[in-house]
Chain A
Amino acid sequence: MLEVVDLEKNFGGIKAVDGCSLKVEQGSITGLIGPNGAGKTTLFNLITGFYEPDGGKIWFNGEIISGLSPHKIARRALTRTFQIPRELKEMTVLENLMVVPENQVGERIWNSFFRPGVVRRQERELRDEALEVLEFVELIDLANEYAKNLSSGQKKLLELARTLMAEPKMILLDEPGAGVNPTLMKKLTRNIENLRQRGKTFFLIEHDMDLIMNLCDTVIVMNKGRQLAEGTPDEIKKNESVLEAYLGGR
């Protein structure tokens, strides 16, 4: 589904991603772990087009996507959440979701004047779809609340809800569990599981090892800008070089 080949990204003299190669299988929940500064978020930013790679290629669904701008990558049904939630503060939760689907008829300004019926019909469909997603992530009671008023855990759910509106094939989650209380966490995990059943592929960065061990079928470990190890959660737990990278050797 996703394949990264010899990817490189430098910031000044620092090689944030240094010849990284890895694969994410279709329909999997793949975890990405590694010590701070290993290049995980940079890798996500490269995959989603926020950074341009200095070398290497990224394949998604049989196409090269490296070098494309973020909105073009999003249109290939690859979407992401952000480590720190980026809710649209002064807009309602419902509007936060309704804006997501691509190529809405009403996004062309003249259609609101010359084809208002079509726009209105699509708006109604989008609203129903958004309400369904909000129901799914249990934010339905907050539909008409400003997004800025949500708790940080609810904002994480909003991030996830937004990716669902995009009808993605693959979702990149950047620390979905950070700052989320255990109850909400269970909800989040359940949601991710449900979505995988529906055929979505997940690639997620996480520091919470319980979440990784419970949820992921494959875990990739990154260190110093490249892949250090790959395997099932159990294999990774026993991997000597992983322990060394995390604990600084013994």
Chain B
Amino acid sequence: MDTFIGILNYLVFFAITAGIYAVLCLGLNIQWGYTGLFNIGIAGFFAVGAYTSALLSGPPPGPLDWRTVGGFQLPWVVGLLGAIIASGIIAFFIGLLTLRLKEDYLAIATIGIAEVIRLILKNEGWLSNTVWGIKHIPSPLHQPIEAGVSSFLKGHPQLSPWLVHFISNAYNWFYLALVLVILGLLYWTSERSIRSPWGRVLRTIREDEAVAAVSGKNVFSFKLQSFVLGAMVMGMAGSLYAHYAKFIDASSFEPLYGTFFIWVMLIIGGSGNSKGAVLGAFVIWGIWAGTEFLTGPLALSGTQAGALRVIVVGVLLELTLLLRPQGILGEEKIVSRMLKK
């Protein structure tokens, strides 16, 4: 029974991470799936969200900190909103500069900008405490829930060990619920938007910009809207990550975890389909986390196993692109659905 609770607790931890990835995928789906904007600088917006939230809601700099700003200890919600707004503002200015570029140039520009953001966060101590990162970022409602759990356990000393084990994990269950509620709201918003005439214009731009322009649509304005909204969602994911991990540093936002994985998830799950975006996040994170346990049976060293796992994900991406380019769930045929109901 205790092993079962152990596995269950692990699954909760797994689902929180996958849920945060699903949020990132929904953000990318707006940009790439709907509008065809080739953003390979996801990690940049993810990082801006995480740091903004940490600076707004996190503790002030400690005695050994390089930081001279931030740590305002504001409520978590303020951090979350700040993350969304900051990513949106940054995306707005980046978009103004780059969205007139053709898609491959947009890709180069965005990856460059994401690296610039990461290196600023790695080196500007006054802002980010360089490689030592920001520590002790509070998780929302952490203290009351933990206090409740420990007083409950004190009051019931005769509980069997597996039940204690289960109840001790209450905070993670709460955080999972929080992530899933936010994911649900985003899913609903995203679906409603894409099925509206607004979404139809985005898809037209993805298919052929010239046609959108001949139909009197301000292509640049719509691209900017899509880019900024997608980045705001990515910033939100950054906040969710920072308050769960409690510690962030620039290495959390390297291109492999911060950008590449999200692309793989969206493409395998089904670009242009919100369900596909969420599914892809859980499937790929499942494969990634699952292969971690293979290191034992395969008798490989840690480095070898790590490289093998990346290869597995890469091969899956290739196979999808070759055999099922639309992903597990492709875009639906009839998307404009405001007609029904």
Q: How many A residues are at the interface, by size bracket?
A: 35 or more
A108: chain B residues within 8 A (beta carbon): 198
| CB atoms of A106 and B213 under 8 A apart | no
Contacts of B203 in A (CB 8 A): 88, 90-91, 95
Which among B192, B193, B198, B229 has the greatest number of chain A C-beta atoms within 10 A?
A: B198
Contact of A86 among B196, B208, B229, B336 (CB under 8 A): B208
Residue of B nearest to A124 (CB): B339
Q: How far is the CA of A107 from the CA of B217 in the complex (A)?
A: 9
Q: Tell me which of A89, A92, A95, A127 has the highest count of chain B C-beta atoms within 10 A of its own C-beta.
A: A95
Chain A positions 100 through 120: 1 when the CB is less than 8 Å from some CB of chain B, otherwise 0:
111111111101110010011
- B150 interfacial by beta-carbon distance below 8 Å: no
Interface of B is mostly: helix
Question: Which residues of chain A are within 8 angstroms of B272 by Cβ–Cβ distance?
Answer: 90
Contact A88 B204 (CB under 8 A): yes
Is the pair B215, A162 in contact by a Cβ cutoff of 8 Å? yes
Contact A112 B196 (CB under 8 A): yes
Interface presence of B197 (CB below 8 A): yes
Task: Assess whether A91 is in contact with B210, with CB atoms less than 8 Å apart.
Answer: no
B120 interface contact, C-beta 8 A: no
Any B CB within 8 A of the CB of A194: no
Q: Which residues of B contact A91 (CB under 8 A)?
A: 200, 203-204, 207, 335
Give CA–CA (A70, B225) in the complex, Å: 19
A 30-57 to B, binary, CB cutoff 8 A, 1 in contact else 0: 0000000000000000001110000000
Q: Which residues of B contact A70 (CB under 8 A)?
A: 210, 213-214
Smallest CB gap from B217: residue in A? A71
Known interface pairs A71-B216, A79-B214, A90-B331; A98-B336 also in contact (CB < 8 Å): yes
Whether, in the assembled complex, B22 has its beta carbon less than 8 Å from a beta carbon of chain A, the answer is no
A-B contact count (CB 8 A): 112
Chain B residue contacts of A109, Cβ below 8 A: 193, 196, 198, 225, 229
CB atoms of A119 and B197 under 8 A apart: yes
Q: Which residues of B contact A124 (CB under 8 A)?
A: 339
Nearest chain A CB to B184 CB, angstrom units:
16
B331 contacts across to A, CB distance below 8 A: 90
Within 8 Å by CB of A116, from B208, B212, B218, B338, lies B338
Give the chain B neighbours of A129 by CB distance below 8 A. Answer: none
B196, B225, B334: the one within 8 Å of A144 (CB): B334
Q: A89 CA to B217 CA in the complex, in Å?
A: 18
Chain A residues in 8 Å Cβ range of B339: 120, 123-124, 127
List residues of chain A with CB within 8 A of the CB of B219.
71
CB of B202 to closest CB in A, whole Å? 10
Q: Let me know if A146 is at the binding interface, CB within 8 A.
A: yes
Chain B residues with a Cβ under 8 A of chain A: 189, 192-193, 196-198, 200-201, 203-204, 207-208, 210-219, 225, 229, 272, 331, 333-336, 338-339, 341
Q: Could you write out 6 A-B pairs with CB less than 8 Å apart?
A: A99-B212, A113-B192, A119-B196, A119-B338, A144-B334, A146-B333
